[in-house]
Chains A and B, each alone.
Chain A
Amino acid sequence: MAKKPDLLPGTLDMLILKTLTRGALHGYGIALSIKRLSDDVLTVEEGSLYPALQRLLLQGWVKGEWKMTDTGRRARFYTLTAAGRKQLGIELSQFEQMITAIGRVLRDAQEA
């Protein structure tokens, strides 16, 4: 079985926040959504997902609310808060900067 690439460190919070911009989701939903949107390339380990969600709750970037799912089960749905939206912006721009920087270094390396 081919090894799937690991998530870039520090990007999980950003991915979760981004996923939640499309609406409230429960933990499983978030994991599924990230997996689907990345065409199965990115897998969120449950081991990281729940601690990450606790962290985000603690920072006040997401809110948790218990609701019924379509299948009639109780689940905690997470929604983005205003602070979370702002944080997402910050993380996105930082991420852009880093990608551009990495890209420049790689291009330079190819030309050399």
Chain B
Amino acid sequence: MIGRFLRKLSLLFGRARFESELDEEMAFHRAEAEEAFAADGMTREAARYAATRQFGNAARLRDESHAVVGFRVETVVQDLRFAFRQFRRSPGFAITAIVILALGIGVSVAIFGFVDAALLEPLPYAAPNRLMSVDEASAMFPRSNLSRDDFDDWRRMNHSFTSLDAYGGMGFLLRTASRSEPVPGARVSDGFFSTLGVHMMLGRGFLPGEDQPGKSKIVILTYGTWLKRFGGRRDIVGQPVTLSGADYTVVGVLPREFEFAPRRDSEFWVPLLEKNGCEQRRSCHNLYGVGRLRNGVTMDAARAEMKAIAALLAKQYPGSNQGQGASVIPLAEIIVGPVRPILLTLLCGAGLLLLIACVNVASLILVRSESRRREIAVRGALGATRARLARQFVTEGLLLALLGCAGGVLTGDWLMQMLARLIPKNMLIHLPFLSDVGLNTHVLIFAGVVALLAALLLAATPTLRLTFAGIRDGLGEGDRGAAGTLWRRLGANLVVIELAVAVVLLVGAGLLGKSFYRLLHVDDGFDTTHLATVQVMLPDSSYTKDGQKVALYREINRRLSEIPGVQSVGITTDLPVQCNCDTDWIRIVGKPFHGEHNEVNERDVSPSYLSTLKAGLVRGRLLSDSDDANHPRVTVINEALAQKYFSGEDPIGKMIGDGGFTPNSMRQVVGVIRNVREGALDDQVWPAEYFSIYHDSDTYFAVAVRAARDEKAILPGIVTTLHSIDANLGVYGESTMTEQIESSQTSLIHRFSTWLVGGFAAMALILGVVGLYGVIAYSVSRRTREIGVRMALGAQRSAVYGMVLRQAGRLTGVGLGIGLVSAVGASLLMRKLLFGVAAWDAPTLAGVALVLGAASMIASFLPAQKAASISPTEALRAE
């Protein structure tokens, strides 16, 4: 076998010698035969003729000898050469086909690149699929923060995790040359980095027990911080750093590739250490957990165990833990969960676009194979077997797919870079893995598979045609025979597929666009325009007493109000349209209570805050400047709270307290406002209560400033004024409310999916309509003679118009019908992305039908016009 292969190989390279030897051998044979004939008494002439005749066609003989010794490859090369010649002869066809394919494949490859980065390899840690996010759960939050006490108990009691650790955010004020800079950081338990499987680049990680209260203050730097703030000094380990006025010692530096998406912007990582004010209570939920599953323990088993532990704690500490369950989900899930639906939707959209592109090219090929009927018939008559002819088509399909794929990979690479640049920074912080999207092995394999599928489709179409129509028919004079029927059968069906897919994409884009519109026009309950906002962080050391903070709030209010163009100023612990978070558990005097946790949003605001937002007052009054520590506690509630807990009664004057009616928690309801949206755009509105910040002061707060005109222009003035009040204030996050809403994750996800699916739909519409145009125009060109006869027999031009438009109308109708039904199905699948719109939204469906119908009619009007302007005499004379 091997010997045979080697001999073949040597023949392949010694081709010239092989041919000359064969020629010489055959010449010798002919000469000998000629001699023999001559010896039998023939004339020289006759002898040569007889010998040649007996010998047969020398060229064909040589071919057959080739076939014996040659490789299949050689005929493939022939096919390839022929295919290239074909493409060169009709460059329009080849270029169109390749561009369409490159576009389709490019879009798919680009989207797959993102899916690959986000869904396949999102976590840069050792054995990432064993890492779980371990948190608490309550009726309102399927995943809520973990309290420090609960975490300690969970860690002690569980057997499911080899290690269980906690992390939480913490801001630091870093003293720089000019002023204090607020810097994000994180507090973690001792084993946090070893649970993730991260090793320090310099120094060491936290040692067991180093997170306990009373231990020394130590800090780990990220690579970027080490470079930016400490000049990349190798001797940094052991050096002191002052954070928020306290001295820490650097023990380690994280490696460059370290990344922890939930706290990605954290520069300084410190151990948990002392319990802060909130952590004194078991009901203070401010951490998150991360655990590494023990070998052989499944996620479900771990979840069951943690739930059992939570139930045990609920019995032991009913006040704080009643109704607090446990949530165990993959760590990857909390990072990529929010973007999975959009990515999968986009991947499907790209797939559909690719399908249209392939179908479009396939029908192009079909049209061309129609016009190549003669060529095929001639080749068949000259002895090409059906397999050989089929192989020619397969080769052409492969070549197209290959060129299309190469173009697609280039397009895809470009698209990926462009899309990655379009992702705003604050979204990238949550999705760090998207920053290194690009061509990698996965993506290339994907491109290869797509190209292969495309090649199969492209090769199958004309081959199918070969088996349908007898080759011999092709030799016949007319193009009016069986092939016409075949074309109508296959080509028309193809265009129906294209139109149907275009409808699906259009409906998807329409629904997403409508969702996006609804989202941006959702009722926020306050005036979002002309509102400038900044975040402020107080240096702990200089504001130790509540009175100092209250004085500062008043000073801020006074000084900022003096800035020209400022109408009013408000201070709050949390700005609106952020999250349903910072909640409180309430109990209403005079209502039955069984220890349940009535979760409501709690906001501590300055007296002028609600009026600065222009929140609507429904009953009672807003907070006033005298609602301070010298007066009884009062609260303003929103309508949602009023409806849920005071349904049918007047809440004004009612008393609310905490679960145990602790005396200093008791407050009286003095006002009801319209619901101000505290949560994200697509979140439910929760019950909320607003307290005076003069009662409950905080070191972190936000300032909202209502501007007369351009709110962006006054931002620098706000920052300067704040620093002139106290140079040590940490001021960050300068922004406007409109900007914040538009760049919120919900809004970005919707905007992205709307634009991308919209783009896909536009391309699909163009391809589909061009496909329809092609079908109709081709059909008209084939029926020129028929139309001529009809017109000669007295058919009116309007009748010809009607005939062509009816054909187009039928195809469009069928495509629309199939498309609309599939579209509703597809929309049901992506309903997670829809907001305020049903999958079967009639206006959208009708709109799509209208757009596609109109586009199709325009596309078929041109060929119809051509048909109607056919001159009967010329049509009949032709052919």
Hey, which bits of chain A sit against chain B, CB under 8 A? 26-28, 31-32, 45-47, 50-51, 54-55, 57-60, 66, 73-76
User: How distant is B10 from chain A, measured CB to nearest CB, in Å?
Assistant: 11
* Further pairs besides A46-B29, A54-B69, A73-B31: 10, Cβ < 8 Å: A28-B28, A45-B56, A46-B54, A50-B61, A57-B7, A59-B4, A66-B21, A73-B28, A74-B24, A74-B28
Which residues from B are CB-within-8-Å of A55?
A: 68
- B56–A47 contact, CB under 8 A? yes
- B65–A26 contact, CB under 8 A? no
**Which residues 58-97 of B sit at the A interface, judged by CB distance below 8 A?**
60-61, 64-65, 67-69
- A60–B4 contact, CB under 8 A? yes
- A28–B29 contact, CB under 8 A? yes
Which residues from B are CB-within-8-Å of A46?
A: 26, 29, 54-56, 61
**Which residues 37-67 of B sit at the A interface, judged by CB distance below 8 A?**
54-56, 60-61, 64-65, 67
**Which residues 825-841 of B sit at the A interface, judged by CB distance below 8 A?**
none
- B68–A58 contact, CB under 8 A? yes
The 5 closest A-B pairs by CB, nearest first: A28-B32, A54-B68, A51-B64, A28-B29, A47-B56
- A27–B29 contact, CB under 8 A? yes
Which residues from B are CB-within-8-Å of A32?
A: 36
Which residues from B are CB-within-8-Å of A57?
A: 7, 69
User: How distant is A76 from chain B, measured CB to nearest CB, in Å?
Assistant: 5
Q: With A46-B54, A58-B8 given, is the CB distance from A51 to B65 under 8 Å?
A: yes
Which residues from B are CB-within-8-Å of A27?
A: 25-26, 28-29
Residue B824 lies at the interface, judged by CB distance under 8 Å to chain A = no
Residue B581 lies at the interface, judged by CB distance under 8 Å to chain A = no
- B69–A58 contact, CB under 8 A? yes
User: How distant is B616 from chain A, measured CB to nearest CB, in Å?
Assistant: 94
Which residues from B are CB-within-8-Å of A31?
A: 29
- A75–B56 contact, CB under 8 A? no
- B65–A54 contact, CB under 8 A? yes
User: How distant is A69 from chain B, measured CB to nearest CB, in Å?
Assistant: 8
Residue B478 lies at the interface, judged by CB distance under 8 Å to chain A = no
Between A and B, 21 residue pairs with Cβ closer than 8 Å are A27-B26, A27-B28, A32-B36, A45-B56, A46-B54, A46-B55, A47-B56, A47-B64, A50-B22, A50-B26, A50-B61, A50-B64, A50-B65, A51-B61, A51-B64, A60-B3, A60-B4, A73-B31, A74-B24, A74-B28, A75-B25
Query: Which single member of A26, A47, A54 contacts B28 (CB below 8 Å)?
Result: A26
Residue B202 lies at the interface, judged by CB distance under 8 Å to chain A = no
Task: Give the dominant DSSP class at A's interface.
Answer: helix
Which residues from B are CB-within-8-Å of A66?
A: 21
Q: How far is the CA of A75 from the CA of B35 in the complex (A)?
A: 15
Which residues from A are CB-within-8-Å of B55?
A: 46-47
* Nearest chain B residue, comparing its CB with the CB of A49: B29
Which residues from A are CB-within-8-Å of B33?
A: 28
Q: How far is the CA of A32 from the CA of B37 in the complex (A)?
A: 13
Q: How far is the CA of A28 from the CA of B31 in the complex (A)?
A: 10
- A58–B7 contact, CB under 8 A? yes
Q: How far is the CA of A41 from the CA of B430 in the complex (A)?
A: 89
Which residues from A are CB-within-8-Å of B25?
A: 26-27, 50, 75-76
Which residues from B are CB-within-8-Å of A59?
A: 4
Which residues from A are CB-within-8-Å of B69?
A: 54, 57-58
Q: How far is the CA of A62 from the CA of B25 in the complex (A)?
A: 16
**Which residues 1-21 of B sit at the A interface, judged by CB distance below 8 A?**
3-4, 7-8, 21
Q: How far is the CA of A26 from the CA of B585 in the complex (A)?
A: 107
Select the residue from B4, B22, B64, B68 with max chain A CB neighbours within 10 A.
B68
Which residues from A are CB-within-8-Å of B56?
A: 45-47
User: How distant is A10 from chain B, measured CB to nearest CB, in Å?
Assistant: 15
Select the residue from A31, A32, A50, A55 with max chain B CB neighbours within 10 A.
A50
- B67–A51 contact, CB under 8 A? yes
Which residues from A are CB-within-8-Å of B4?
A: 58-60
* Nearest chain B residue, comparing its CB with the CB of A26: B28
Q: How far is the CA of A57 from the CA of B28 in the complex (A)?
A: 19
Which residues from B are CB-within-8-Å of A47?
A: 55-56, 60-61, 64
Q: How far is the CA of A50 from the CA of B31 in the complex (A)?
A: 16
Q: How far is the CA of A74 from the CA of B29 in the complex (A)?
A: 11
User: How distant is A82 from chain B, measured CB to nearest CB, in Å?
Assistant: 13
User: How distant is A52 from chain B, measured CB to nearest CB, in Å?
Assistant: 8
* Nearest chain A residue, comparing its CB with the CB of B57: A47
Which residues from A are CB-within-8-Å of B36?
A: 32
Q: With A46-B61, A50-B61 given, is the CB distance from A75 to B7 under 8 Å?
A: no
Q: How far is the CA of A47 from the CA of B57 in the complex (A)?
A: 8
Q: How far is the CA of A73 from the CA of B3 in the complex (A)?
A: 31
* Nearest chain B residue, comparing its CB with the CB of A52: B68
User: How distant is B30 from chain A, measured CB to nearest CB, in Å?
Assistant: 9
Q: How far is the CA of A45 from the CA of B3 in the complex (A)?
A: 29
Q: How far is the CA of A57 from the CA of B68 in the complex (A)?
A: 10
Q: How far is the CA of A32 from the CA of B39 in the complex (A)?
A: 15
Q: How far is the CA of A4 from the CA of B711 in the complex (A)?
A: 106
Which residues from B are CB-within-8-Å of A26?
A: 25, 28
